[in-house]
């Protein structure tokens, strides 16, 4: 699995808009008419009554009539220029109208009149958070609290300042302090949920969001953040429902539509994602987050020109927007302009973007600057420990560079990283972590590609040796192959198709739940962590997969070769759905110089669409189609058993030949998958494999020239 470039996403950040003051006016709506009539009666008698003017301003503000609120508050300051409450009301109205500079001046005037005014201090603090000045904001909230330690809004504001800084533990402590004062405050539960999510405490965060919604069912921001949290946990249907609810409650909530579009994009529903993005854009064409979301959408659809167009628009609006600059680095990286990407990521990091650090590490990897990349990924994980993407990228780098003691442990984060597992399977049974088994049945389930299953199924022997009964749940194309494991043939392990029911029928008939027939579960790719596998302790006692002798004989008759010619199998392309397949796979035409140069019986082991390339070979080239019509990998294994050598790119065929102990040459890109490590031509996973790497990114021609030289030497050393 290749490293991933990360973007921050658009979950609502409480620090950008203090939750306590966001919609408190909602509680006044039932009495607004009565209050307004009382103030109006007073103003009919005295149009210059300052308290009534301020009161009408607050009523207008509560009913979201911001310009009317500004006019009333301004009239109040005009008739009573030394009335601090009038200046505070004007500050609140101007802030609601997004006239922040004027609002700051109004609050400052209130403070000049009464330096002890906590409402003015709070309003000023909120403005300073909104303008990215959390240190100054914190001082204002602290001053307000000195006047009134139980002022909940000031406690919340101080928490928001801490959250803006990224000091989420301190922010959470402030939100808990606010709840101690006012336990039923939905905004405080919402804010606590945000801080808990950033600290990686997702279950607690979910409970807080749900509590906020229970206290206030129309809390759109809480519905939105709950939806994002559910999305991160792989509960896509529930996430979609929560995000839809947010947009129903607040059709003008731009971030709600953007987050809904991100979910639809990840669910591979581009038409729905585009529709949601259009809604967001129509609400506010100038909002940079929407423009960046469009950029990400176009990039996901492999429309780099469209992605650049949206990004240039965003950068024109704000050249220093940290996520826009981070996205610039991502697009440069995707165009393989790694030096420029690194510069962009450095700038994004300086602007405060945390994902940019890990992204810079990936660009360093592609440049071959391995140790520097490792240091950068460590820095990224330390700076943002709640980010599964940052820790995942660190894990792959550790494994690549041979630090398996840390790497396998860190690799477990993949279950929280949606780029790897969008909707991971969940079991009621506990995860096996290496304890004595004493006859317990352990479900070992495949999770990624066919090659991964072949590579890690060897651990079933070790599970059996610990006293357990392994049940291997694997993909259908490899199930018959895995049945050939010695531990399965000996009756000490079982196999089943991945996704099939994991249990026996219920005892009490219709409507009862299936009874699971295993006590523990463990993903196949977690077994190296369980057994503490290091580079020098990879399980290998010899070939652990083979083929039926009768089928081998059939394959040899089906695909004969000249008596003196070596039999060489070829595979050149892996699963096209794999994200980095364009780097690891090539086309059959790339291998033509090799086929022309070596006198051998060439037999294709290629399956899938890429096998169709055999039909386009020149008339003077003979490559037999050995596998395109195979039912599964059992037939491929029988054919591999007849070969003298397999030459393949990084495909399941490489793992199959290696697991069978056959000589296999694996042709790798310049930056290969982490499992093949770095700067080595051997792998502890398959002692009969040889790793041949590109000398420069994309240099298939140079690699094939080397293979020709090496193969001539190889054949000279062997008699066929």
* 3-class SS string, 301-336: CCCHHHHHHHHHHHHHHCCCCHHHHHHHHHHHHHCC
Closest C-alpha among 224, 181, 185, 176 to residue 204: 176
User: In degrees rounded to 5, what are phi and psi of residue 64?
Assistant: 65, 30
Instruction: Identify the band that residue 6 occupies on the pLDDT scale cut at 50, 70 and 90.
Output: low
pLDDT digits (tens, 9 = 90+) for 8-21: 544 332 323 333 33
Name every residue whose Cβ is closer than 8 Å to that of residue 3 and which is 6 or more positions away in sequence: 361, 362, 365, 392, 393, 396, 397
Query: Mean of the per-residue pLDDT values for the chain?
Result: 89
List Cβ neighbours of 307 (8 Å cut-off, separation of 6 or more): 295, 296, 298, 299, 331
Domain ranges of the chain: 319-416, 441-537, 549-716
Backbone angles phi, psi at 690, to 5 degrees: -125, 130
Q: Look at 384 and 10; give whichever has higher pLDDT.
A: 384
Question: Per-residue pLDDT tens for 667-718?
Answer: 999 999 999 999 899 999 999 999 999 999 999 999 999 999 999 998 888 7
Which DSSP state fits 431?
B
For 549-716, which CATH class?
alpha beta
Higher pLDDT, 657 or 140: 657
Question: Given this model, what pLDDT does residue 24 score?
Answer: 38
- Pick from 262, 256, 254: which is nearest to 288 by CA? 254
DSSP track, 383-416: H-TT-HHHHHHHHHHHHHTT-HHHHHHHHGGGGG
pLDDT band at 357 (very low <50, low <70, confident <90, very high): very high
Out of 215-224, 268-277, 502-511, least confident range: 502-511
Structure tokens at 544: 């652990």
For the chain, first and last CA: distance in Å? 37
What is the mean predicted confidence (pLDDT) over 38-44? Answer: 81
**Neighbouring C-alpha atoms within 13 Å toward the C-beta of 509:** 0
pLDDT higher than 70, residue 210: yes
Residues 6+ apart with CB under 8 A from 578: 449, 584
Kindly report the CATH class assigned to 319-416.
mainly alpha
Give the contacts of 156 (CB within 8 A, at least 6 positions apart).
18, 19, 20, 21, 174, 175, 178, 187, 188, 191
Name 496's bridge partners: 473
Residue 406 scores a pLDDT above 60: yes
Gap between the Cα atoms of 479 and 157, Å rounded: 58
Q: Report the candidate in 199, 159, 200, 164 with the shortest Cα–Cα distance to residue 176.
A: 159
Q: 520-523 and 515-516: which strand pairing? A: unpaired
- Fold agreement (319-416, 549-716): no
pTM (2 decimals)?
0.82
């Amino acid at each position: 699995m290749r490293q991933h470039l990360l973007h921050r996403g658009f979950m609502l950040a409480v620090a950008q808009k203090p939750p306590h003051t966001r919609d408190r006016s909602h509680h006044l709506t039932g009495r607004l008419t009565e209050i307004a009539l009382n103030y109006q009666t007073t103003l009919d008698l005295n149009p210059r009554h300052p308290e009534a003017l301020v009161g009408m301003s607050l009523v207008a503000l509560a009913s979201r009539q911001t310009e009317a609120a500004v006019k009333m508050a301004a009239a109040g300051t005009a008739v009573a220029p030394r009335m601090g409450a009038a200046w505070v009301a004007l500050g609140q109205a101007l802030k609601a109208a997004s006239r922040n500079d004027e609002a700051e001046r109004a609050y400052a005037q209130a403070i000049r009149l009464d330096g002890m005014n906590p409402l003015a201090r709070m309003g000023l603090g909120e403005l300073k958070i909104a303008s990215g000045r959390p240190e100054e904001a914190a001082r204002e909230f602290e001053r307000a609290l000195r006047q009134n330690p139980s002022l909940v809004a000031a406690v919340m504001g101080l928490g928001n300042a801490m959250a803006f800084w990224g000091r989420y533990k301190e922010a959470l402590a402030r939100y808990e302090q606010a709840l101690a004062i006012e336990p039923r405050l939905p905004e405080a539960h919402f804010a606590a949920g945000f801080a808990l999510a950033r600290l990686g405490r997702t279950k607690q965060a979910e409970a807080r969001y749900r509590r906020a919604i229970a206290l206030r069912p129309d809390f759109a921001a809480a519905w939105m953040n709950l939806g994002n949290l559910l999305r991160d946990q792989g509960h896509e249907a529930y996430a979609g429902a929560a995000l839809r609810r947010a947009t129903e409650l607040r059709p003008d909530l731009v971030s709600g539509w953007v987050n809904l579009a991100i979910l639809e994009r990840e669910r591979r529903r581009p038409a729905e994602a585009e529709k949601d993005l259009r809604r967001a854009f129509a609400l506010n064409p100038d909002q940079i987050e929407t423009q960046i979301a469009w950029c990400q959408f176009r990039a996901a659809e492999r429309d780099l020109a469209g992605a650049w167009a949206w990004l240039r628009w965003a950068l024109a609006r704000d050249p220093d927007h940290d996520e826009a600059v981070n996205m610039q680095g991502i697009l440069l990286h995707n165009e393989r302009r790694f030096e420029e990407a690194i510069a962009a990521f450095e700038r994004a990091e300086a602007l405060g973007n945390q994902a940019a650090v890990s992204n810079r590490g990936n660009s360093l990897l592609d440049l071959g600057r391995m140790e520097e990349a490792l240091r950068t990924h460590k820095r990224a994980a330390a700076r943002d420990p709640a980010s599964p993407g940052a820790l995942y990228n660190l894990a792959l780098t550790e494994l690549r560079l041979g630090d398996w003691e840390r790497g396998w442990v860190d690799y477990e984060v993949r279950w929280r990283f949606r780029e790897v597992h969008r909707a991971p399977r969940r079991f009621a049974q506990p995860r096996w972590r290496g304890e004595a088994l004493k006859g317990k049945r352990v479900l070992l389930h495949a999770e990624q590609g066919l090659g991964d299953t072949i590579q890690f199924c060897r651990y079933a022997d070790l599970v059996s040796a610990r006293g357990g009964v392994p049940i291997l749940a694997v993909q259908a194309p490899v199930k018959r192959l895995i049945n050939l494991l010695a531990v399965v043939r000996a009756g000490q392990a079982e196999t089943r198709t991945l996704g099939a029911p994991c249990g026996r029928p219920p005892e009490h008939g219709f409507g009862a739940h299936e009874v699971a027939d295993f006590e523990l579960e463990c993903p196949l790719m977690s077994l190296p962590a369980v057994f503490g596998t290091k580079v020098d302790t990879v399980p290998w006692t010899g070939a652990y997969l083979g083929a039926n002798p009768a089928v081998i004989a059939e394959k040899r008759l089906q695909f004969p070769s000249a008596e003196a010619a070596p039999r060489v199998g070829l595979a050149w392309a892996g699963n096209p759905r794999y994200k980095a397949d364009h780097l690891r796979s090539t086309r059959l035409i790339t291998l033509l110089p090799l086929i022309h140069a070596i006198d051998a019986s060439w037999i294709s082991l290629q399956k899938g669409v890429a096998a169709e390339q055999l039909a386009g070979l020149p008339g003077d080239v003979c490559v037999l189609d050995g596998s395109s019509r195979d039912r599964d990998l059992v037939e491929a294994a029988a054919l591999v058993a007849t070969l003298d050598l397999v030459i393949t790119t990084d495909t399941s065929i490489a793992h199959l030949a290696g697991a069978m102990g056959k000589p296999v040459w694996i042709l790798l890109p310049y930056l290969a998958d982490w499992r093949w490590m770095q700067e080595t031509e051997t792998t502890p996973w398959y002692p009969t494999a040889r790793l041949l790497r590109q000398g420069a990114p994309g240099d298939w021609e140079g690699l094939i020239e080397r293979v020709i030289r090496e193969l001539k030497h190889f054949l000279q050393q062997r008699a066929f």
